[in-house]
Each structure stands twice: as C-alpha cells, then as structure tokens.
Amino acid sequence: MKVRTSDIIGLGLLAFVAACRFSVPVADFYAERCYPVISSALSRLAALVPFSLEEIVAIVFILIFITVLVRSIKRKEGFFRCLGKTGRVVMWLLVWVNLGWCGNYFRTPLYTRMELEPARFDAEAFESFLSEYTDILNGSAGSRATWDKESLEQEIKDFYAAEATACGYTALRPWQHVKKPLINPLFSAVTILGWMGPFFCETQVNLDLPELEYPSVLAHETAHLTGVTGEGEANYWAYAFCRQSDNPSVRYSGCMEIFPYVAVNARALLSEEQYNAWLAKVSPCAKEDYNAIQEFWDGKRVRFIENVQRTLMDMFLRSKGISDGAKNYQGVIGIIMTMDARRTLAGGERVSI
C-alpha cells in the first residue's frame, strides 16, 4: 500500500498523542498550549449549527470503517492491504479524539498542580462537612426551577472564569453553548444525563432531563469543556457552582446530584447509629424528590444496553489512566473536603471556592 503525505502527517500527530500518554510534560504542554486553541477552533465551527455534531462524526467514522472493510473484502485485497486501509481510519479517529480533548487525561493532576494533599479521614471534619451539606440541602429542599437556561449557562461560565481557570483549566468562549443531541432516546436508555464531545468540543445535555437535575448536569459537562477529565472532579465543580448560587433551586440541584455519594460515604465512615441519625435529619421532601428521579430514569433505561455502556465507559476511563474506572465518580466527597480545606487560609480568610 502506497504511503501518502497524509499518512506521514497522521503518524506524526499520533506520535504526539502517544507522547502525551507517556510524558506528563508533553501532556501539560497540550493542556496548557494546544487544547485552548484547538477547543476554541473546533467549537467555533460547531457553533455554526444549533445541533450536536458529535453523534454525526461518530456515525460517519463507523460507516467509513465498514465501507473500507467491505470494499477490501469484495476486491479480494490482501490482509495487510486491508489492515492498512482500516488502520488509516483508526489512526485519524485516535488523532481527532485525543487532540480534540482526551489529551487532558494525562496532564499533571489537580492536587499536584495546586500543591494539595488529599484529605484524610477525620471524624470531626467529615461531620462538619455533613452538617453543612445537610443544612444547604434542607434549606433548599422543594425548590423548583426559577432560572432560565441562557442566564444559568452564563453564570456557570462566569464562575469557571473566576475559579476553574485559577486551577489551570481553559477559559470558555462566548460561542460555546450547550447543544441538543440527535439520538437522545439512546442516551436515556443508558441513563447518560449529559456528555462532552471530543470531536467538536460540544457540551450536550439529555433532553429528557428533569428540571431539578439540569443546573448540576450542565455545570458538570461545562467543567469537562474547561479540560476537567475526572468525573469526581467534574462533580466537585458542579457542586461548587451550585452551592454558591443565590438561587435555591440551583443549590438544591447541586445537593441532590451528590446525595448518593454523600450517603455512600456516610454509611462507610459513620457508625450505624450515626448514619441513621443523619438520614433522619434529611428533609422528607428531598428524599421524595431523589426517589422520584430514580424512578423516572428507571422507566427509561434499558438494562442490557446500560450494562454494555457502563462496561465500555469503565474500560475507556481505565485506558486513560483513571485507575478506579467508573468508580471515579465516588471520589467527589474527597475532592470537596480537600478543596474546602484549602478555603481556610492561615489568617482565617476564605477564598471563593
């Protein structure tokens, strides 16, 4: 098979992608210098249309791969020639996905960049967190949407401009707006509430999403757009945004989104008596709303498809160096407590997060 100029370019870019995977300094260069430019350019193109381009690109790549494979078989081309052609498709897919966003997985972790030590379990500190969280949850319980989507999106952008960029993440652009997915029923079937696309750096939110979940999910996916890769950390940024909002319905959304992680940690770290005492303090309205949301998604999910999706996602996260795989979602409580500890300075002053 003849080697083309595009093959040489593609292999060069693939070599850079591989260097990001195995060299933190190269990955840092990508995250700090390349990703801001690439995400800005890709999302600018995507802004020309009101719908998501991510599914279209994924489907096109699949069709190209199948077409190349079928044509090679029909023409009775040799194994290596067929492998070379399909390899081209895979090569450009890997280049686009990793240069578009996934190179951020391998940069210096947040704690190292911020010179922070992960919070260790301390009974008094955890009880303090639990008390503050429960007060916010109960104080906003039952609140219904009093926000509009455009204003909410701008508030999230303003918050990240002040807070996330200070932690080394990419500034957001005016033309980067949440997009509508094209195959929404599939995402509902696997209970995907929102996602960040690596092809055109587009954030998308499930159209079936209940209003209660919308602020936290939008904030979560917007965090990914800034370059945040860990799911636990994206949950942290979403909660940090919602918690500081003046709008009780936004605060309620943030509290409800991390409620299962709070409960899991409380059950693991407290005695049974302490756990039951905490659970009794949680507003009955919040419990009802949480159960209603679970029932809502249970009515839409298709278990087999969801199990396949979770397995693939777990494999994807592990391939990107997230050692806990899908369980990385549970790390949000540790991040909240670590970042909250950072809030209190030596002189007793408090920073904004």
Cβ contact 342:167 at 8 Å: no
Domain boundary among 56, 91, 106: 106
Residues 119 and 239 grouped into a single domain: yes
Each residue's pLDDT, cut to its tens digit, for the chain (353 residues) gives: 577 888 899 999 999 999 999 999 999 999 999 999 999 999 999 999 988 899 999 999 989 888 888 887 777 777 667 777 788 888 999 999 999 999 999 999 999 999 998 888 888 989 999 999 999 999 999 998 889 999 999 999 999 999 999 999 999 999 999 998 989 998 898 889 999 999 999 999 999 999 999 999 999 999 999 999 999 999 999 999 999 999 999 999 999 999 999 998 898 888 999 999 999 999 999 999 999 999 999 888 776 555 654 565 566 546 655 555 444 335 799 999 999 888 654 344 444 44
Q: Where are the alpha helices (DSSP H) in the chain?
A: 5-22, 24-29, 35-46, 54-74, 79-100, 110-113, 123-140, 149-162, 184-189, 214-225, 231-244, 248-269, 272-281, 284-298, 303-319, 332-343
Beta bridge partners of 51: 180
- In a domain? residue 353: no
Contact 336, 237 (CB under 8 A): no
Q: Is residue 47 part of a domain?
A: yes
Q: Does residue 208 lie in a domain region? A: yes
Which SS3 state, helix, strand or coil, does residue 309 take?
A: helix
- DSSP, residue by residue, 141-165: TT------HHHHHHHHHHHHHHTTG
- How many domains are there within the chain? 2
91 in a structural domain: yes
Alpha-carbon span 211 to 253, nearest angstrom = 9
143 and 162 in a single domain? The answer is yes
Give the contacts of 152 (CB within 8 A, at least 6 positions apart): 214, 215, 218, 250
The answer to whether residue 351 is domain-embedded is no
Q: Kindly state whether residues 182 and 242 are assigned to the same domain.
A: yes
Do residues 150 and 125 both lie within one domain?
yes
Domain boundary among 81, 106, 131: 106
The verdict on 134 and 194 lying in the same domain is yes
In a domain, 229, yes or no: yes
Residue in 336, 349, 99, 314 with CA at minimum distance from that of residue 234: 336
Indicate whether 15 belongs to any domain. Answer: yes
Q: Containing domain of residue 9, as a range? A: 5-106
Q: Which of 80, 106, 132 is the last residue of a domain?
A: 106
Contacts of 57 by beta carbon, 8 Å cutoff, 6+ apart: 96, 199, 200
Tallying the residues shown for the chain, one arrives at: 353
Query: What is the per-residue pLDDT for 198?
Result: 93
Rounded-to-integer distance, Cα 123 and Cα 64, Å: 56
End-to-end CA distance of the chain: 56
Q: Are residues 156 and 72 in the same domain?
A: no
The answer to whether the pTM exceeds 0.75 is yes
The DSSP line for 172-184 is P-TT---BB-SSH
The answer on 293 and 146 residing in a single domain is: yes
**Looking at the DSSP assignment, which residues form a beta bridge with residue 276?**
none
